[in-house]
Amino acid sequence: MNTHGSTVVGLDVHKQTVVAAVLPPGADRTRETVTIENVPKAVERLVARLAASGPVAFVYEAGPCGYEVQRQLTTLGQPCAVVAPALTPVRPGDRVKTDRRDAEKLARLYRAGELTAIRIPTRAEEAARDVVRVREDVLADRLRARHRLAKFLLRQGRLYRETKAWGVAHRAWLHSQRFAWPALQQTFAAYLRALEEVEAHLAVLDQQVGDLAQQAPYRPLVQALRCLKGIDTLGAVTLAVETQEFRRFPRARAFMSYTGAVTAERSSGGMVRRGSITKAGNAHPPDPGGGGLERPVWHGGEP
């Protein structure tokens, strides 16, 4: 977006406040920096005051506050870009970080075209993505519940060595455990109950993810992704909701950069050093760890 004829406003968005740095057209330094409440009415007043002097372009970094500010500004008819924090240039040796400096830096870098804007998901896309992500969270809860139960039994000298853990035979063995001390029995029952409650929650989420795979617009994409080796329902749904639109990646290399599945490199002169994959991309992998759905195997190939 060409912003040389517009006032660029860099925003540092937090839960309670928004810091706005105003960079006028043709200026190399911000004119003013204001702090407002992060509420729709305060944002609307700021937009009305700035837009009265001419066209305005807003920019802020993606973060835990989501896209509500961007959606409000778009509704008010103002262009607003949300940029990737990991791709924001940082000066070596710059050790001072404040909300004001962050907002001013965003305004200057956006005017210079040095920032990378991200794709803003629709509310429906964000809702579908959150269903898959909450399943990842519950999957991590199940792992913690299993560890707590297993470590408690280990402290009591109760080891299961017959078959694979957490299978049918192991479950029967767990339910057969009895302790002489009532406090130990109560502790064991609490750990086991916590595990079973998490597993019941996970089963419900598995069904919801499976239902999502059958709904538009994900059904055709999930069916196509399942044709790839190692990608089944769970992996296909995760890829679909996290990526949303594969056509926004001009090449396979761009998609691999988005996932972080590219190798690190520190080469200089005649020396070439390559390391492991960077993982500096989307933190939600296509394989959240299995469960009620089929567990896929992620090979890191082209989409």
Which helix (H) or strand (E) is 9 found in, with range? Answer: strand 7-13
Average pLDDT, the chain: 89
Task: Answer yes or no: is pLDDT of 133 > 60.
Answer: yes
Question: Which tens digits make up the pLDDT trace of 213-238?
Answer: 999 899 999 999 999 998 889 889 99
Task: Answer yes or no: is pLDDT of 286 > 60.
Answer: no
Phi, psi of 23 (to 5 degrees): -115, 105
* pLDDT at 265 (0 to 100): 85
Right CATH for 7-112 from 3.40.390.10, 3.40.50.2000, 3.30.420.140, 1.10.3720.10: 3.30.420.140
Task: Answer yes or no: is pLDDT of 146 > 90.
Answer: yes
Task: Answer yes or no: is pLDDT of 291 > 50.
Answer: no
Question: Which tens digits make up the pLDDT trace of 80-102?
Answer: 999 999 888 988 888 899 999 99
Phi, psi of 37 (to 5 degrees): -70, 145
* pLDDT at 290 (0 to 100): 41
Question: Which tens digits make up the pLDDT trace of 170-184?
Answer: 999 999 999 999 999
Task: Answer yes or no: is pLDDT of 294 > 80.
Answer: no
Q: Any idea of the CA torsion for 194, 196, 201, 203, to the nearest 10 degrees? A: 160
* pLDDT at 263 (0 to 100): 82
CB 126 within 8 A of CB 82: no
Calpha distance 285→289 (Å, rounded): 9
Q: What average pLDDT does this structure show over 283-303?
A: 42
More confident residue, 130 or 289: 130
- pTM, two decimals, is 0.81
Calpha distance 106→196 (Å, rounded): 48
How is the chain split into domains, by residue range? 7-112, 123-303
Q: Which of 149-171 are b and which e, b meaning 16 or more Cβ less than 10 Å from the residue's Cβ?
A: bbebbeeeeeebeeeeebeeeee
CA Rg, the chain, in Å?
Answer: 25
CB 90 within 8 A of CB 124: no
Calpha distance 122→128 (Å, rounded): 10
More confident residue, 202 or 94: 202
CB 177 within 8 A of CB 183: no
